[in-house]
Structure 1
Amino acid sequence: MIDRADYYAAKLAYETDASDVHAARQAQSDIVVVDVRSEEAWAQGRVAGAIHMHYSEIAARAPREISPDAEVVVYCWSPGCNAGAKGALEFSRLGYNVREMIGGFEYWVREGYPVEDADGTHRRPVDPLTGIARIRTRA
């Protein structure tokens, strides 16, 4: 029987969230953020600075494009999408240190972090259900 502490330690070894990914990038961490969604989803918007590698392409592309020593974080659309798990599995099979960003692109956007698309880099307002929104005060 697995101990609860062991379970949660393992969970944190395999998962991360948008807040922790953003903080690591702000701290100049060398993590590689990989969007494993379709080309159409990538074009619609993505985590700023991420690379695109559909989960079905990882086995062929990752060894050529990503250092085997890299810390990799994968994401898909949302908590309702399992492409992130599929991508993490492929990176794991190749021996990468990989974690899945829980909440996916949805929570990255909802928490107000930078998003890229064909028009450049943008930030949407923080959704008060997922993060602390700035409170407007009257002058």
Structure 2
Amino acid sequence: MTLSQNQSAQSAVTPQSPSLVCQYPAAPADAVIRWFSQRLQFETDCSDVQSALSSGADDFVLLDVRGEAAYAKSHVPGALNLPHRQITEATLQALPAERLLVVYCAGPHCNGADQAALKIARLGYPVKMMIGGLQGYQDEGFAVTEPTETADKSLQCGC
């Protein structure tokens, strides 16, 4: 629907007052700016990660924080596997302390990436979460690795 078609359709409909969308007023612009600026400091999306990886960017490390068996089943090409339950000061020492770590888990139904990001931040590393996880990456149409011969086909995230 074009903008002019939408305007015609709106004038032909008797609106509820207020609609469910507008029953709570929008925040002031300065609050919206703060909110979305903060969100972008905590999160990145699958498209930006894929674009950066395909361009050869090396300013971040992508970490798949699911279990080893889930990682073997499939993962984002270029991602390292560090299950969130194994994140410690010792396991992070192999990674550059100044480089951004981007974590992902299975998808929106899993909080493994949230747990990983919290542990990583508590250890003093910069971190963001790739929203959508592996499911979001695949939903965007991006290729993931093929399962290894030993991967259990029925396994979920392993968190």
Alignment pair present for 1:79 and 2:108: yes
Q: What percentage of aligned pairs have identical amino acids? A: 36
Opposite residue 148 of structure 2, the aligned amino acid is: A
Alignment pair present for 1:112 and 2:144: no
CA deviation vs aligned residue, 1:59-93 (integer Å, no higher than 9, x gap): 13012x11001111100001111000001111111
| Count of residues in Structure 1 that have an aligned counterpart in Structure 2 | 117
Per-residue deviation at 1:26?
Answer: 2.4
User: Which runs of 5 or more structure 2 residues have no equivalent in the other structure?
Assistant: 1-29, 150-159
Tell me: higher relative CO, structure 1 or 2? Use CA pairs within 8 A at least 6 residues apart. Answer: 2
SS of residue matched to 2:87 = helix
Q: Report matched runs for 1:43-122 at 5 Å.
A: 43-59=72-88, 60-63=90-93, 65-116=94-145, 117-118=147-148
1:33 maps to 62
Normalising by structure 1, what TM-score? 0.78
1:5 maps to 33
CA deviation vs aligned residue, 1:16-75 (integer Å, no higher than 9, x gap): 110010111223221210000112211111111100001121113012x11001111100
Task: Answer yes or no: is the 8 Å Cα contact 2:53–2:78 preserved in 1.
Answer: no
SS of residue matched to 2:128 = strand
Per-residue deviation at 1:4?
Answer: 2.1
- How far apart, CA to CA, are the structure 2 residues paired with 1:52 and 1:43? 9
SS of residue matched to 1:33 = strand
Normalising by structure 2, what TM-score? 0.69
- Segments of 4+ moved more than 6 angstroms: none
CA RMSD of aligned residues (A): 1.5
- How far apart, CA to CA, are the structure 1 residues paired with 2:127 and 2:55? 19
1:19 maps to 47
1:123 maps to none
- How far apart, CA to CA, are the structure 2 residues paired with 1:70 and 1:78? 24
Opposite residue 61 of structure 1, the aligned amino acid is: T
